[in-house]
Chain A
């Protein structure tokens, strides 16, 4: 029972936010608003699920926001370039999707290889690639914005905006990835190895776990999920620029930590991450809907809630350890 209380901390915070939102504005629980919030959460959500694995294995990735912008840029360029030969059809869009996901694998592999093979601190590696990806997309866009061809956009648009009833595709994809992620972390050998490496990589190595390979895989997995997020992001506005995905990395990391995954690694909780992502998007949504404070203070409110969510968990944890 005690264990339940502490793991349920983020969930309690989420429920409290939902009640607060509903009390402040009746539009909050309307299906349209719920769809908006969930669909918006999907980008950070997919990335944060991947980030949970990286952090659990004792790593960190600061490059994901820039990587998303870069992948969106090359996907748009690829689709525009393929359009004259492949024509205005789903084939062209599949090319773009393929570029985004394969690019994600390559970018994740690059980060992972630099961490595991070149043995550089993940913080430094991904700080470096963060700057590289961000500059590359600005360079590709010549300082402006890369826009998808109008016809392709119209065709591609439903991937973000439609779905099954009011449950749009981003929500469906996010839900599937979250469930698969939770299962992988809890029940697969990969998940157990990741947790073992994060809690003590030397012991993990003695237990015949291929530590470097597992670490590398967590970065590749994150890269794939960034690619998937881009596949869903591009149809929303049909454009990418140097300001795409700014600070997504911090939102993803914050969501992971709010959800109860330890920043030092060793204990991952994918469902907690999902709750963390929802908490972050709900704060934004409620602040916009409610006029509670001056918009200048929105950032402060978010900061307070993030710190509070983590403080509550810490206190329960120390109580438990005693």
Chain B
């Protein structure tokens, strides 16, 4: 993945050099480093695609901007990537989606201390006030929006099962908000197990839920990859008519089924992987415009319904 991205970036730089020699003279050349986790699951795959797409577009629009993209499979590799960007590419800005908060805090702080513009995406650092710009999805809203839908659309006494992601603070925030939204309703949460945002794991967990509970009225799969595994387990048990499933993040296959009015998938909650595009765009604007670009930018989680699904459908994205 990394080599391919680098090759693309290299090709891009070559193209830029040829395409816009005249304009490039006017402004000083600025280099923006982008460091993100590699495409290990659907959501990150989408995020990688949007990052590459945005870099390609911005590179063409602003010839004086140059981008360096690196993807890392673990926090240690990401720290190395950032150090390399500082040492060998002399970046002017860093857009980073930290793999984990703790190990990345000190290296990103070092970038900031060197006087660079720092944009942190989605996962906050463990020390406040390092970044110039913070762009993130709203995990609390992600859980709350789903929880509110369950509360409004289930009868009192209805029974719900939940699939959780990989144990992280992000997952905890979502689940706590979901629980809080259901408070005061008569909806009962039967069980919460970890499906690790993985289709196969979610399939196995759902099969076991189905074996264990004779009555399930709805499933909060909390992620569209997990929703796919869940739907397959439900149809293998022939219980499609008994329950509906709410995933999350807006995978194109799922959004398509909502558009088509699938009874099993009434709605979805967004957590757009394109948030990386917002972060890269805003960082770029910091260098090419006078618009102030510091602060916190929180992208809200919206409910995708059959009526509005079309505007969330990206057929070209891998996610």
Q: What chain A residues lie within 8 Å of B167 (beta carbons)?
A: 296
Q: Chain A, interface size: which category?
A: 20 to 34
**A145 and B45 form a contact (CB under 8 A):** yes
**B40 and A243 form a contact (CB under 8 A):** yes
Binding stretch for chain B, among A32-40, A96-104, A108-116, A307-315: A32-40
Q: What chain B residues lie within 8 Å of A170 (beta carbons)?
A: none
CA distance A142 to B42 in the complex (A): 10
Given contacts A138-B1, A143-B49, A288-B205, 17 further A-B contacts (CB under 8 A): A30-B211, A36-B204, A36-B207, A40-B207, A138-B38, A142-B45, A142-B49, A143-B39, A143-B48, A143-B318, A144-B42, A236-B232, A237-B229, A241-B45, A243-B199, A289-B208, A289-B212
**B208 and A141 form a contact (CB under 8 A):** no
As a 0/1 sequence over residues 193 to 210 of chain B, the CB contacts with chain A under 8 angstroms (1 = contact) are 110001110011101111
Residue of A30, A142, A147, A161 with most chain B CB atoms under a 10 A cut-off: A142
**B211 and A242 form a contact (CB under 8 A):** no
**A27 and B212 form a contact (CB under 8 A):** yes
Residue of A28, A145, A298 with most chain B CB atoms under a 10 A cut-off: A145
Determine whether A139 belongs to the interface, using a CB cutoff of 8 Å to chain B: yes
**B212 and A25 form a contact (CB under 8 A):** yes
Determine whether B99 belongs to the interface, using a CB cutoff of 8 Å to chain A: no
CA distance A33 to B207 in the complex (A): 8
- Can you show 29 pairs from A to B with CB atoms below 8 A apart? A25-B212, A27-B211, A28-B211, A30-B211, A32-B210, A32-B237, A33-B208, A36-B208, A36-B211, A40-B204, A40-B207, A138-B1, A139-B1, A142-B39, A142-B45, A143-B38, A143-B46, A144-B39, A144-B45, A144-B49, A144-B319, A145-B225, A145-B319, A237-B203, A237-B232, A243-B225, A288-B204, A288-B209, A295-B193
Interface residues of B (CB under 8 A from A): 1, 4, 38-42, 44-46, 48-49, 164, 167, 191-194, 198-200, 203-205, 207-212, 225, 228-229, 232, 236-237, 253, 317-319
| A interface SS class | helix
Q: What chain B residues lie within 8 Å of A141 (beta carbons)?
A: 45, 318
With both chains docked as a complex, state the minimum distance between the C-beta of B211 and any C-beta of chain A, in angstroms: 4
CA distance A285 to B42 in the complex (A): 26
Determine whether A239 belongs to the interface, using a CB cutoff of 8 Å to chain B: yes
Q: What chain A residues lie within 8 Å of B318 (beta carbons)?
A: 141-145
A-B contact count (CB 8 A): 97
**A237 and B192 form a contact (CB under 8 A):** no
On whether A295 and B194 interact (CB within 8 A), knowing A144-B45, A145-B45, A242-B40, the answer reads yes
Within 8 A of B (CB), among A235-284: 236-237, 239, 241-244, 246, 284
Q: What chain B residues lie within 8 Å of A244 (beta carbons)?
A: 200
With both chains docked as a complex, state the minimum distance between the C-beta of B198 and any C-beta of chain A, in angstroms: 5
With both chains docked as a complex, state the minimum distance between the C-beta of A18 and any C-beta of chain B, in angstroms: 15
CA distance A296 to B164 in the complex (A): 11
CA distance A298 to B195 in the complex (A): 12
- Which single residue of chain A is at the shortest CB-CB distance from B5? A143
CA distance A243 to B73 in the complex (A): 12
With both chains docked as a complex, state the minimum distance between the C-beta of A23 and any C-beta of chain B, in angstroms: 15
